[in-house]
Each structure stands twice: as C-alpha cells, then as structure tokens.
Chains A and B, each alone.
Chain A
Amino acid sequence: SQQGEEDPQALSIQEGENATMNCSYKTSINNLQWYRQNSGRGLVHLILIRSNEREKHSGRLRVTLDTSKKSSSLLITASRAADTASYFCVTGSNYKLTFGKGTLLTVNP
C-alpha cells in the first residue's frame, strides 16, 4: 500500500518558473522525505523534514509540512531542464520507506 499521494500527477512548466508539488498522507509520521527519480541519476534523496518542523530549505528546494492537515509541499524555484524527473513523497520508518505514485515534472527549455 502507498501512504503518500502526490498532486498533481503531472506538471509541465517552462525553464525559470517555479514548480510546486503537494503530498497528502494518511497516518502519523516521524518524518517525511522527498526523492527524485530520472533516467540519468536514478532515485535520489532530496530532503527530509521532521514532524516537529514546518519548513525546510535546501538550495532551490523548499519543503513545508503541516501535520494537522497531513500534507506536505515541495517547491522548486527557478526550475531547470535538468529538474525534469518524477518526484516522490516518502513516509515510513528508517528501514521501510513508503512511496507515493509521484509527480512527473517536465521542465521545457
């Protein structure tokens, strides 16, 4: 079973624009992670936010977490063609990750 659900399923933007992806999950969590998957680099960890954090930044990435609404968002600013990938919201324990279906982001040059 997949805990997180990303929205939208697909997103197409122009280079330089911002991209926002949302995730909703069902059960309580200790932390939430975002991973990216593309054909070039495979599946890569982007950022982790703990349940007691509301916002976290890493480079052009900004993640928010609202545990009362069981939701998270990932914002990518000033997108590049290289950001084209599937983005997964990931919950679970530190040994068993549970992935959503992902958001397919296409950044057009």
Chain B
Amino acid sequence: DTGVSQNPRHKITKRGQNVTFRCDPISEHNRLYWYRQTLGQGPEFLTYFQNEAQLEKSRLLSDRFSAERPKGSFSTLEIQRTEQGDSAMYLCASSPGSNEQFFGPGTRLTVL
C-alpha cells in the first residue's frame, strides 16, 4: 500500500502524559499536513511542511504541540501534558504540490 500511513491508529493516555504520533506520507510528496478532527466537525488545519521546513502553524497549535519533519520524509506530532480537550482524531495528509491532498487513516487520541 503506497498511501499515507499513520501510527498508532489508536492511543489512550492519561491526562498529563506526553504522546507522539507518526505520519509516513506518499514517498514522492514534498508537502505534509496535520489536521485535527473532533466529533461532528470537519478537519481543522494544524500545520504544514514543505520538505523539512514547517511553513505554517495554526493558532490551534498551542505551545504543548510540536511537529517535526526532520528529513523531509516522515513527520511526528507530539502533544505534551495532554488535556481531555486534546481528545480527537489527528489526520495527516500529503500532496505533491497540487490542490488535492491525500489523507491517512488518522490516529484517534483519547485522553482520560
């Protein structure tokens, strides 16, 4: 399967713990995006990379959130000191620079 992959698919954690998610984009895609989706809502943009450079961050991305794409391939999204309000589906997408974005299956985070 050459689509976007995300790991883990599900994560349950206790409030205050740190979590890290990984996204592997489609190999030839230089752009990578993170979105967050809560129940009943559409995905909301979090951040965007072109190669290894993080070019835009949403105001939704508080100081507890950090994303990296160190070699311009896979990306990680870390949430420190998780809160119950962080419970959501975290979606990663990639694109070759076109308008169409290719989404992964998401990581569902539950903070107890």
Contacts and interface: CB of A to CB of B under 8 A. Distances in A.
Interface stretch (A12-20, A55-63, A70-78, A97-105): A97-105
B62 interface: no
A96 interface: yes
A51 interface: no
B55 A48 contact: no
A98 B45 contact: yes
A88 B35 CA distance: 14
A42 B99 contact: no
B7 interface: no
A43 B45 contact: no
Interface residues of A, number: 20
Q: Contact residue range for chain B?
A: 20 to 34
A33 B99 contact: yes
B72 interface: no
A23 to B, nearest CB: 11
A94 interface: yes
- Secondary structure class of chain A's binding surface, majority of residues: strand
A28 B45 CA distance: 19
Interface string A49-69: 000000000000000000000
Contacts of A48: 99-100
Nearest to B95: A94
Contacts of A88: 42
Contacts of B31: 95
Contact of B101 (A31, A45, A100, A101): A45
Given A43-B91, A48-B99, A101-B40, A96 B56 contact: yes
Given A45-B100, A94-B98, A99 B42 contact: yes
A96 B45 contact: yes
Interface of A: 2, 31, 33, 42-45, 48, 88, 90, 92, 94-102
CB-based closest 9 A-B pairs: A99-B42, A43-B103, A45-B100, A94-B99, A95-B48, A42-B105, A96-B45, A99-B43, A88-B42
